[in-house]
Amino acid sequence: MTMNTPSDPAGGSFEDFLDDLGIREEVYGAALKEVVAWQLDQARSGLGTSKAALARRMHTSRTQVDRVLDPANVAVSLETLDRAARALGKRLEIRLVDADDG
Question: What CA–CA distances, in Å, run from 13 to 5, 26, 102?
Answer: 13, 17, 8
What percent of the chain clears pLDDT 90, i.e. is strictly above it? 56
Residue 58 predicted with pLDDT over 80: yes
Class of residue 43 by CB neighbours under 10 A (exposed 0-12, middle 13-18, buried 19+):
middle
> Contact at 8 Å (CB) between 88 and 40?
yes
Q: What is the pTM of this model?
A: 0.74
What is the mean predicted confidence (pLDDT) over 97-102?
Answer: 72
Q: What confidence score (pLDDT) does residue 101 get?
A: 57
Mean pLDDT score of the chain:
86
What is the mean predicted confidence (pLDDT) over 13-24?
Answer: 79
